[in-house]
Amino acid sequence: MNTDKKELAVAALRCGTVIDHIPSSALFKAVKILGIENMDKYVTIGNNLSSHKLGTKGIIKIADVEFPESILNRIALIAPHAKVNIIRDFNVVEKRPIKLPDTIVGIVRCANPKCITNNEPMRTRFTVVNRNDVTIRCDYCGHTVKSDDAIID
């Protein structure tokens, strides 16, 4: 707990959410998924920090916001090892891994140009078919893609 506190205190977050252990290459996709660019909250984004597990990692800290589980879990698409820390009064009150949902609604665009989702004003929906390499399949056209290669809207 102590080291957590020290590390996270860099941005002196009183309350809010810290998402850690995001692969550097996925950091800006994560920013996009969380919709951070449209927030007026105090946000710190760090990237290319050294990490034992990932080599380099990214970290996102957002003040005064606790995201619903459903949004955080979408991060799992691109950062399956990310950890979420909920901060209250400078303390990490909750620390948990992100969980990949069975179904991904919205967010990912189907790569098949002949897919109905690319031709109708509608939301996409994918089912996770392989949790190890995070392969997802379009519920409409059946096209599969590894989430690393997925087009994130």
Partner 1 sequence: MNSNSLVSINDISRDEILDLIERARFFEEHPNHKILDGKVVATLFFEPSTRTRLSFETAVNRLGGRVIGFSDASTSSSSKGESLKDTIMMVSNYVDLIVMRHYLEGAARYATEVTDTPVINAGDGANQHPSQTMLDLYSISKTQGTLNDLTITMVGDLKYGRTVHSLLMAMQYFNPTFHFVACPELQMPKEYKEFCDLHGIKYYEHTEFSPEVIAASDILYMTRVQRERFSDLMEYEKVKNLYTLRNSMLDVAKDNLRVLHPLPRVNEIDRDVDDNPKAYYFEQARNGLFARQAIICKALGIDVLNLKGDE
Residues that bind partner 1 (CB under 8 A): 112, 114-117, 119-122, 138-144
Which residues ranging from 64 to 123 are in contact with Zn ion (CB under 5 A)?
Answer: 110, 112, 115
User: 96 or 123: whose CB is closer to partner 1?
Assistant: 123
- Contact yes or no for 131/100 (Cβ under 8 A): yes
Q: Which two tokens stand for residue 50?
A: 């050294």
Which of 99, 106, 102, 108 lies closest to 147, judged by CA?
108
- Contact yes or no for 110/82 (Cβ under 8 A): no
Smallest separation, CB 80 to partner 1 (Å)? 22
Residue 116 touches which member of partner 1, Zn ion, none, C-beta under 5-8 Å by kind = partner 1
Residue 120 touches which member of Zn ion, partner 1, none, C-beta under 5-8 Å by kind = partner 1
Smallest separation, CB 119 to partner 1 (Å)? 5
C-alpha 123 chain-centroid distance: 19
What distance in Å separates the CA atoms of residue 141 and residue 94, rounded to the nearest whole number? Answer: 39
User: 93 or 116: whose CB is closer to partner 1?
Assistant: 116
Contact flag: residue 136 with Zn ion (CB under 5 A): no
Size of the site for Zn ion (CB under 5 A): 7
Among 22, 31, 84, 138, binds Zn ion (CB under 5 A): 138
Which of 9, 42, 49, 8 lies closest to 27, judged by CA?
49
Residue 40 touches which member of Zn ion, partner 1, none, C-beta under 5-8 Å by kind = none
Query: 32 CB contacts (<8 Å, ≥6 apart)?
Result: 152
Q: Which two tokens stand for residue 87?
A: 């901060």
Residues found near Zn ion in the complex (CB under 5 A): 110, 112, 115, 138, 140-141, 143
